[in-house]
Chains A and B, each alone.
Chain A
Amino acid sequence: MTRRLLFALPCALAVLIAVSPAIAKPLTVALNADIRSSNPGVNRDDNTDGVILNVVEGLVAYGEDARVKPLLAKSYEVSDDGLTYTFSLREGVKFHNGAEMTAADVLWSWNRYMDPKTEWRCLPEFDGRNRLKVVSAEAPDAHTFVMKLNEPSALFLATMARTDCAMTAILHKDSVKADGSWDKPIGTGPFIFGEWKRGEYVTLNPFHDYQSPPGEKPDGYVGSKRPLIDEAKFLIVPDAATVKAAVVGGSLDVAQVADSDVAELRQSPALDISTPQVATKHTFLFQTRDPLLSNVKLRQAIAAALDMKQIVAAASNGLGTVNNSAVPPTSAYFDEVQRQGYSHDLQRAKALLAEAGYKGEEITILANQRVAMPSYPAAVMAQAMMQAAGINARIEVLEWATQLDRYQTGRYQMQSFSYSSRLDPALSYEQFSGPKDEQPRKVWENPKALDLIDQAYVISNEEKRGKIFDALHRMMIEDTPLIILYNGVDSVAYSKRVQGYSTWEGKPRLWEVSVAD
């Protein structure tokens, strides 16, 4: 009986597998969590942006050199006073429902974003709350869109192109229901939003009438963007070990993998691995209003105690490169000045500690153990190096939501923290600079630095901006309100049957991707 059972079970399984109908395999891409919504720039996170930006497009978008370039706009002109932006739209661009995109759609989309009821994430950037205000938007003819600002801004287009603003995507008005509530995105992107089964998957289908912007190859979110695959399926796989098994076994075509798995996965003959750098910043933050750490000498001593190369090598499994600057290395503003960072000097650290009058008081480093973030390993390395210099450092490990709460309220001494990506240096500096009385999460409140950042918001001239960022970098290294360690690495494993795939800024780009049978 037992023998029969042992024989029957595998047979039954084999029959079950054999009778399952063969289904054409789409390109499967792993997501570690479900998307928040399909509403661009509203209820979103990084996963949401990554999926939705295959579906929708804005007037302008970032290229890989971190410069803003036209996307749905053919070109744009800025008036001499810097207050009027005139966009000429590309002709023949169609929405997924077949309608042709005109300036009326751009105006409708803009007005929807500016309506507080939409709850667009980037509304404060354009309604005057953060200085810049769009005072008017008009569509004088079918292919021209004009926006007027309250003051000149070097960041107007850069903010419109931000991925967390969903590129200020242009949508067809049928994206919302008759009662004004959100339905689904009808955009102009290379893929049509397909089926979303919450907690399971999202599918995208190619848009065969897609009009690609000019270019030989993909360039950030511009360049050639032809949809070449029959279907893409974003599968939600929360467990890192399952992702690894599935990508090795061929159940997943593309997956973000842990940095620690890269060396092993490189050995797999069926996989290609890419590890592009992104503009996220892994840092150590100091609470400069802490009784101990308000002393700049102590902060400088900690910086001198840290061997950045070793920390970065350990935290990124040898994939990252030290960058103490807030300017990402891909930026046109990254120059020799930005390369000057902190140097590891134990003797100097000890001398600075003596100057600071440090007497062995405890310094707590907050960290979390999120899989994708190097918070904990970086903190462990820093703790050991600080102790070697005579600093009484301890680590407090928190769950991410708790650490984020302590960050927002400023209740910490030091923390190992990662900032999301900002491509323009002014936006990157703004992430951590500002008055703590109004925004306790801010780290650097040097009035001179804040003034320089304000100038970088307004001045468009690249040379002048470059000088501002150089000055800011020198001041930041001197003040040491935080230590920027390195920019993130996006480790991606993909099947060899996939051709032309690349992520950019950690987001999957499905255009110009083909799949071999």
Chain B
Amino acid sequence: MLRFAVTRILMAVPTLLIVAIAVFALIRLVPGDPASLMLGDLADATSLASLRHNLGLDRPLPVQFAIWFQNALSGDLGRSITSDQAVLPLVIERFWVSAKVVMAAVIFASLVAVPAGMIAAWRQNSALDVALVAVSTLLLSVPTFWLGLLLLLFFGLKLGWLPVVGYVSFSDDPWRALLYLIMPVMTLFLHEIGVLMRMARASALEVLRLDYITHARAKGLSESVVLWRHAFKNAFAPTWTLIGLMLGNLLGGIAVVETVFTIPGLGRLLVDSIFARDYPVIQGCMLFIAVIYVLVNLVVDLLYPMFDPRVTAE
């Protein structure tokens, strides 16, 4: 297990290196100049040149990359061009905000979608199956920004139960923090439930057709034992992979939900930084997201044998 983990981490090194180089190069290929954006429409050539010099943007690109990469190796991802904040603490702070929403949504979605998918497969072609498939397809098809706005209008405006704008952290006021998180978590939860339910149903359908399930039924085991003790583990394994991919994906990319619900998370930081051409923050965010993606999938792979004994972490 340890050898497997170490090998996987070492394999991630070239991936992260490629990410670092690609992000550095690509963002600089995009037209636009952070100094010009900071000074606005009236920047004279001297002021622009002076600011570019102060920001180190007038140096050759390989030199800029070498300095950034050398500092990154020692854990220093630089400072934001626009806010002058240190990038690494900024990215970590924003990551925890996003992580709370994403983890809560994915956990709740898994708890609901996996059993629902199993039941739909168990009662394939019944009215219940058709209804569950229809609901999951509908939820999957609704864009998150629209779903978010609908929730906002209903629970925030119509009923007045939940706050429409703002964010409160748990350290400041846990009760109010919870109130502010309900709608964004619900938005993600409703969207992801559709994906997970369809996956859980498809996997369960495949497993329920296998000989060992027929054998279990022939032994006279009850349907619930067949379903939850024998079919569940094997059927859940592919869904577990999907949850891992989903987590990696969402932890770096819920900018839309964060924008609609004014959550100061990692996705919004990344989008704002792209618009402001804040190169150090963009690079820091992307590198951090890549690391999170690698780590989440490593954890998923290490836990895989728990669900599918045919797979070993060797």
Within 8 A of A (CB), among B255-282: 259-262, 264, 268-269, 272, 275-277
Q: CB distance B268 to A238 under 8 Å?
A: yes
Q: CB distance B36 to A199 under 8 Å?
A: no
Whether A198 contacts B85 in the complex (CB less than 8 A), given A238-B268, A245-B153, comes out as yes
Q: Tell me the dominant secondary structure on chain B's binding face.
A: helix
- Most A C-beta atoms less than 10 A away, residue of B31, B84, B275: B31
Q: CB distance A199 to B41 under 8 Å?
A: no
Contacts of B39 in A (CB 8 A): 121
Contacts of B36 in A (CB 8 A): 401, 404-405, 408
| A62: Cβ under 8 A from any B Cβ | no
Q: How far is the CB of B45 from chain A (nearest CB, A)?
A: 6
Q: CB distance A245 to B269 under 8 Å?
A: no
Contacts of B175 in A (CB 8 A): 16, 19-21
What is the CA–CA distance of A124 and B45 in the complex, to the nearest angstrom?
11
Contacts of A448 in B (CB 8 A): none
Considering only CB atoms, which chain A residue lies closest to B176 in the complex?
Answer: A20
Q: CB distance A129 to B38 under 8 Å?
A: no
Contact check: which of B31, B51, B176 meets A406 at CB < 8 Å?
B31
Q: CB distance B262 to A124 under 8 Å?
A: no
Contacts of A441 in B (CB 8 A): 41, 43
Q: CB distance A237 to B262 under 8 Å?
A: yes
- Interface segment, one of B155-163, B197-205, B238-246, B290-298: B155-163
Whether A242 contacts B165 in the complex (CB less than 8 A), given A249-B160, A438-B45, comes out as yes
Contacts of B178 in A (CB 8 A): 16
Q: CB distance B164 to A239 under 8 Å?
A: no
Contacts of B143 in A (CB 8 A): none
| A118: Cβ under 8 A from any B Cβ | no
Contact with B along A359-403 (1 / 0, CB 8 A): 000000000000000000000000000000000000000011110
| B191: Cβ under 8 A from any A Cβ | no
| A142: Cβ under 8 A from any B Cβ | no
What is the CA–CA distance of A34 and B276 in the complex, to the nearest angstrom?
12
Q: CB distance A401 to B32 under 8 Å?
A: yes
What is the CA–CA distance of A251 and B167 in the complex, to the nearest angstrom?
12
Contact with A along B33-47 (1 / 0, CB 8 A): 100111111111111
Contacts of A404 in B (CB 8 A): 32-33, 36-37, 41
Considering only CB atoms, which chain A residue lies closest to B32 in the complex?
Answer: A401
Whether A13 contacts B262 in the complex (CB less than 8 A), given A199-B94, A199-B269, A420-B42, comes out as no
| B48: Cβ under 8 A from any A Cβ | yes
| B195: Cβ under 8 A from any A Cβ | no
- Most A C-beta atoms less than 10 A away, residue of B157, B165, B175: B165
Contacts of A399 in B (CB 8 A): 32, 275
| A60: Cβ under 8 A from any B Cβ | no
Contact check: which of A243, A249, A405 meets B32 at CB < 8 Å?
A405
Contacts of B139 in A (CB 8 A): none
- Most B C-beta atoms less than 10 A away, residue of A130, A251, A419: A251
| A221: Cβ under 8 A from any B Cβ | no
Contacts of A246 in B (CB 8 A): 156, 164-165
Q: CB distance A235 to B165 under 8 Å?
A: yes
Q: How far is the CB of A200 from chain B (nearest CB, A)?
A: 5
| B30: Cβ under 8 A from any A Cβ | yes
What is the CA–CA distance of A130 and B46 in the complex, to the nearest angstrom?
10
| A340: Cβ under 8 A from any B Cβ | no
Contacts of A33 in B (CB 8 A): 272
Whether A37 contacts B259 in the complex (CB less than 8 A), given A408-B36, A420-B40, A431-B42, comes out as no
Within 8 A of B (CB), among A394-435: 399-402, 404-408, 417-420, 431
Q: CB distance A420 to B152 under 8 Å?
A: no
What is the CA–CA distance of A376 and B111 in the complex, to the nearest angstrom?
46
- Interface residues of B, CB < 8 Å — how many? 54
| B86: Cβ under 8 A from any A Cβ | no
| B138: Cβ under 8 A from any A Cβ | no
| A95: Cβ under 8 A from any B Cβ | no
Considering only CB atoms, which chain B residue lies closest to A400 in the complex?
Answer: B275
Contacts of A164 in B (CB 8 A): 40
Whether A239 contacts B259 in the complex (CB less than 8 A), given A249-B157, A251-B166, A408-B48, comes out as yes
Contacts of A419 in B (CB 8 A): 41-42
Whether A241 contacts B165 in the complex (CB less than 8 A), given A198-B83, A405-B32, comes out as no
| B221: Cβ under 8 A from any A Cβ | no
| B182: Cβ under 8 A from any A Cβ | yes
| B104: Cβ under 8 A from any A Cβ | no
Q: CB distance B161 to A17 under 8 Å?
A: yes
What is the CA–CA distance of A245 and B162 in the complex, to the nearest angstrom?
13
| B57: Cβ under 8 A from any A Cβ | no
| B234: Cβ under 8 A from any A Cβ | no
Whether A239 contacts B176 in the complex (CB less than 8 A), given A245-B157, A407-B41, comes out as no
Contact with B along A181-211 (1 / 0, CB 8 A): 0000000000000000011110000000000
Within 8 A of B (CB), among A18-52: 19-21, 30, 33-34, 36-37, 43, 45
| A439: Cβ under 8 A from any B Cβ | yes
Considering only CB atoms, which chain B residue lies closest to A14 in the complex?
Answer: B161
Considering only CB atoms, which chain A residue lies closest to B172 in the complex?
Answer: A197
| B224: Cβ under 8 A from any A Cβ | no
Contact check: which of A45, A245, A406 meets B149 at CB < 8 Å?
A245
Considering only CB atoms, which chain A residue lies closest to B43 in the complex?
Answer: A408
Q: CB distance A249 to B164 under 8 Å?
A: yes
The 8 closest A-B pairs by CB, nearest first: A401-B32, A199-B264, A251-B164, A402-B31, A246-B165, A246-B164, A249-B157, A239-B259
26 A-B contacts (beta carbon < 8 Å): A19-B175, A21-B175, A43-B83, A121-B47, A124-B44, A199-B94, A199-B269, A200-B262, A235-B262, A237-B165, A238-B259, A238-B272, A242-B262, A246-B164, A249-B164, A252-B165, A401-B31, A404-B32, A404-B36, A404-B41, A405-B36, A408-B48, A418-B41, A419-B42, A420-B41, A439-B45
Name A residues whose Cβ lies closer than 8 Å to a Cβ of B. 13-14, 16-17, 19-21, 30, 33-34, 36-37, 43, 45, 119, 121, 124, 129-130, 164, 198-201, 235-239, 241-243, 245-246, 248-249, 251-252, 399-402, 404-408, 417-420, 431, 438-439, 441
A-B contact sample (18 more), CB < 8 A, given A124-B44, A441-B43? A13-B162, A14-B161, A16-B175, A20-B175, A20-B179, A21-B175, A37-B84, A43-B84, A121-B39, A124-B46, A200-B167, A241-B260, A242-B152, A245-B153, A251-B165, A404-B32, A408-B48, A420-B41
Name B residues whose Cβ lies closer than 8 Å to a Cβ of A. 30-33, 36-48, 51, 54, 82-85, 94, 149, 152-153, 156-157, 160-167, 173, 175-176, 178-179, 182, 259-262, 264, 268-269, 272, 275-277
